[in-house]
């Protein structure tokens, strides 16, 4: 017989009042990504997790809650509305992705980037209308089978990050009411969730990029809701700060700086895409803020494609030139400092260099040579 606790009584009452409206397995499917030895490690290190009740609440609002009671019991509720919303956001974001399957032709994106931004902004507004009792009229773009498979994975990893973020509050902030949580505690929960997702699933299953992309989709989607006026419990920091905290966890788990940028290319691309949609909601200029890390990440992502023969060097140079032109002198100098460490244009060639990395370094140097002298000098620290 299950133990009766303060949390279990309230959990059962709320679940009976608002049972899940759709598939009741979504939370279980996501949490089951962490299994076997990884799950045992988590439960041994944080035994409280095994006693926290988890359920999907059939309420059409974009919420997730963790509640701890004085007797030490706790429960987590993820609302159906949040899961449905994140799924819609994920699939819309995937309409802008070119999908590469080993041994096959690249499957082109359904929409160009700016069309994706417009679609995301429209989606945010439609769901905001739904939560206010209006009719939702959404016409989601169909995805190719290859993109649909990736979207399905990202829906699961996004849900996993939601669950682990709430578990983090349950194990780290048990004495703090949700509305009293500080920005520092939200960042702590993000970092804990990212680390557990990476250790429990991302690294063992070689799905690090999927885990990180799931995290950024959740963070950016909730940021869009805040722009629309939705009130989240506690005090959530800006998305750029939240992502920086997660990426700091990743840095500490990578063998070197090149490996860090190599593994974060996709999450950086999704972050920029979703930030552009947020800017559209606010009536701001389209182009997201250009930073040194974004330039380096975008360069590596494109040069991986160049090395694989899926993108021409000229196209990569043209798209990167847009970012170089938008960057100020300080960003260009910082870009050069990072590149000098991980993509050294004067590095000697040798048989020990990995083919892909050697190709990225050589092609980055070629792109630099094609830049206007003033920009090239700033990047190389000569101006």
Q: pLDDT of 14-32, one tens digit each?
A: 999 999 876 678 999 999 9
Q: pLDDT of 243-268, one tens digit each?
A: 999 999 999 999 999 999 999 999 99
Q: pLDDT of 265-314, one tens digit each?
A: 999 999 998 998 888 888 887 677 899 999 999 999 999 999 988 889 99
> Does residue 101 surpass a pLDDT of 70?
no
Mean pLDDT of 43-72: 92
Tokens of 152: 């399905």
Helix (H, G, I), strand (E, B) or coil at 378: helix
Which contiguous run of DSSP H or E holds residue 84?
helix 80-93
Buried b (16+ CB within 10 A) or exposed e, 159-187: bbbbbbbbbbbbbebbeeebeebeeebbb
pLDDT at 362: 94
Res. 107 pLDDT band, cuts 50 70 90? confident
Res. 100 pLDDT band, cuts 50 70 90? confident
Res. 352 pLDDT band, cuts 50 70 90? very low
Mean pLDDT of 62-67: 92
Residue 18 contacts residue 58 (beta carbons within 8 Å): yes
Most confident residue range from 168-172, 176-180, 230-234: 168-172
> Does residue 350 surpass a pLDDT of 80?
no
pLDDT at 14: 95
Mean pLDDT of 335-349: 86
Question: What share of the chain has pLDDT > 90, as a percent?
Answer: 63
> Does residue 137 surpass a pLDDT of 70?
no
Res. 1 pLDDT band, cuts 50 70 90? very low
> Does residue 349 surpass a pLDDT of 70?
no
pLDDT at 351: 47
Is the pTM value of this prediction over 0.85? Answer: yes
Buried b (16+ CB within 10 A) or exposed e, 39-74: beebeeebebbebbbbbbbbbbebbbebbbeeeebb
Question: What share of the chain has pLDDT > 70, as a percent?
Answer: 94
- In total, the chain counts a number of residues equal to 383
Residue 305 contacts residue 316 (beta carbons within 8 Å): yes
**Spatial CB neighbours of 208, under 8 Å, sequence gap ≥ 6:** 198, 202, 250, 263
**Spatial CB neighbours of 285, under 8 Å, sequence gap ≥ 6:** 279
Q: pLDDT of 30-41, one tens digit each?
A: 999 999 999 999
User: How far is the C-alpha of 237 from the C-alpha of 21, rounded, in Å?
Assistant: 31
Residue 66 contacts residue 29 (beta carbons within 8 Å): no
Domain boundaries, the chain: 82-289, 291-383
Pairing status of strand 74-79 against strand 64-68: antiparallel
pLDDT at 216: 95
User: How far is the C-alpha of 268 from the C-alpha of 298, rounded, in Å?
Assistant: 8
> Does residue 180 surpass a pLDDT of 50?
yes
């Amino acid at each position: 017989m299950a133990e009766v606790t303060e949390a279990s009584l309230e959990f059962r009452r709320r679940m009976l009042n608002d049972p899940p409206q759709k598939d009741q397995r979504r939370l279980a499917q996501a949490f089951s990504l962490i299994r076997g030895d990884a799950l045992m490690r988590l439960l041994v290190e944080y035994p409280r997790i095994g006693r926290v009740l988890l359920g999907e609440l059939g309420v059409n609002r974009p919420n997730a809650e963790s509640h701890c009671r004085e007797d030490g019991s706790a429960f987590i509720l993820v609302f159906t509305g949040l899961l449905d919303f994140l799924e819609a956001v994920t699939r819309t974001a995937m309409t802008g992705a070119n999908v590469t399957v080993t041994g096959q032709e690249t499957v082109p994106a359904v929409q160009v980037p700016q069309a994706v931004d417009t679609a995301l902004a429209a989606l945010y507004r439609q769901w905001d209308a739904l939560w206010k009792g209006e009719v939702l009229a959404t016409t989601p773009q169909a995805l190719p089978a290859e993109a649909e498979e990736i979207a399905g994975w990202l829906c699961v990893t996004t849900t996993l990050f939601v669950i682990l973020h709430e578990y983090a509050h349950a194990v780290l902030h048990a004495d703090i009411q949700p509305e009293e949580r500080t920005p520092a505690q939200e960042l702590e929960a993000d970092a804990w969730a990212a680390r557990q997702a990476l250790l429990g699933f991302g690294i063992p299953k070689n799905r690090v990029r999927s885990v990180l992309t799931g995290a950024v989709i959740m963070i950016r989607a909730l940021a869009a809701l805040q722009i629309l006026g939705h009130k989240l419990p506690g005090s959530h920091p800006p998305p750029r700060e939240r992502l920086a905290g997660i990426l700091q966890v990743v840095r500490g788990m990578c063998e070197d700086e090149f490996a860090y940028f190599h593994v974060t290319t996709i999450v950086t691309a999704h972050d920029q895409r979703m930030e552009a949609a947020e800017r559209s909601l606010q009536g701001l200029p389209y182009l997201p803020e250009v930073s040194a890390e974004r330039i380096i990440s975008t360069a590596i992502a494109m040069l991986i494609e160049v090395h694989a023969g899926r993108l021409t060097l000229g196209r990569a140079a043209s798209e990167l030139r847009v970012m170089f032109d938008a960057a100020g002198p300080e960003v260009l100098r910082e870009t050069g400092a990072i590149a000098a460490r991980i993509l050294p244009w004067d590095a000697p060639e040798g048989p020990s260099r990995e083919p892909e990395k050697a190709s990225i370094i050589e092609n980055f140097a070629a792109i630099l040579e094609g830049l206007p002298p003033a920009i090239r000098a700033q990047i190389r620290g000569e101006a």
